Amino acid sequence: MTVKVQLFITCLGENFFSPVLKDLVGLLERLGVQCEMPEGQTCCGQPFYNSGFQAQATGPARQWLKVFGPTDGYIVAPSGSCAEFVRHRYPEMFPPGTPEHAVAREISERTFEFTEFLTRVLKLTDVGACFPHKVTYHASCHLLRGMGLRDEPKQLLAAVKGLELVPLSEEETCCGFGGIFSVVYPEVSAAMLADKVRNIQASGAEYVVVGEPGCLMNIAGGLQKIGSAVAAVHMIEVLAARGDR
């Protein structure tokens, strides 16, 4: 039986990480998954909601439900924060008894972050990747705390041929992005990022692997700012690699 996936590409994915989305499709199709991308999908509304504008978030959320509601199969996102928002917040945003609540409940049960989908739905840890480099891993907050995915990303990395996973001091400490947090509290965010970059440098890794687009953008910028030789990459890029990087 063919597994079908609806791709939830997310705002940061579409605007800043289109090569990662291409790798995501390639990886899933390599694993025999049928991929579809519903047209008309928009922001899920998380930025409004997290900024305190819960009422304004219902507009984008209602449109998102309108697009994904009629689809079938799993919904997979390259982002723990967006997947967590749809899964946990949508059923709360619309009161029980409304049409939106029923759709939100149904959708929440088939929405997954991609490492969660690989390990918990497809039951895979070895996806045939080859990435012969020394890497370290940053645990993003929403992925770790919101989705409860602590071991799954590292299980996938451990199965990558040629990859040496080295520990990161304070791996589970926030990098300082936090979406709107980095805008409202820029000085605090910058200090947190500096600590994260310092720990990444001290790990001795060639690459730091991140599973969250927002964190990836933040950490990549911090490393670039100090002229670091360490490159920040999305988890999908590593799992899609076949040894040609």
Residue 126 lies in a domain: no
Residue 89 lies in a domain: yes
Query: How many Cα atoms occupy the beta-carbon half-sphere of 133 within 13 Å?
Result: 23
Question: What local confidence, expressed as pLDDT, does residue 244 receive?
Answer: 66
Question: What local confidence, expressed as pLDDT, does residue 68 receive?
Answer: 97
Mean pLDDT of 154-180: 96
Mean pLDDT of 201-210: 98
Mean pLDDT of 72-77: 97
Task: Tally the domains of the chain.
Answer: 2
47 with 108, same domain? yes
Q: State which amino acid sits at residue 63.
A: Q
Of 89, 121, 153, the position where a domain reaches its end is 121
Query: Tokens for 166?
Result: 């080295």
Round to whole Å and give the CA distance between 169 and 174: 12
Of 95, 121, 147, the position where a domain reaches its end is 121
Q: What is the pTM of this model?
A: 0.94
Q: What are phi and psi of 5, to 5 degrees?
A: -130, 135
pLDDT at 2 over 80: yes
Residue 245 lies in a domain: no
Question: What local confidence, expressed as pLDDT, does residue 113 receive?
Answer: 98
80 with 102, same domain? yes
Residue 128 lies in a domain: no
pLDDT tier at 1, thresholds 50, 70, 90? low
116 with 22, same domain? yes
pLDDT tier at 138, thresholds 50, 70, 90? very high
Question: What local confidence, expressed as pLDDT, does residue 32 receive?
Answer: 96
Provide the CATH number for the domain around residue 101: 3.40.50
92 with 183, same domain? no
Question: What local confidence, expressed as pLDDT, does residue 245 receive?
Answer: 59
Round to whole Å and give the CA distance between 155 and 55: 39
Residue 114 lies in a domain: yes
Q: Which domain holds residue 39?
A: 4-121
Q: Which residue in the block uniquely carries the two structure tokens 């590409």?
A: 9
84 with 45, same domain? yes
Round to whole Å and give the CA distance between 166 and 5: 32
Residue 13 lies in a domain: yes
Round to whole Å and give the CA distance between 149 and 230: 25
117 with 9, same domain? yes
Query: Tokens for 1?
Result: 């039986």
Of 90, 121, 152, the position where a domain reaches its end is 121
139 with 232, same domain? yes
52 with 116, same domain? yes
Residue 12 lies in a domain: yes
Residue 71 lies in a domain: yes
- The rounded mean pLDDT for the chain is 95
27 with 111, same domain? yes
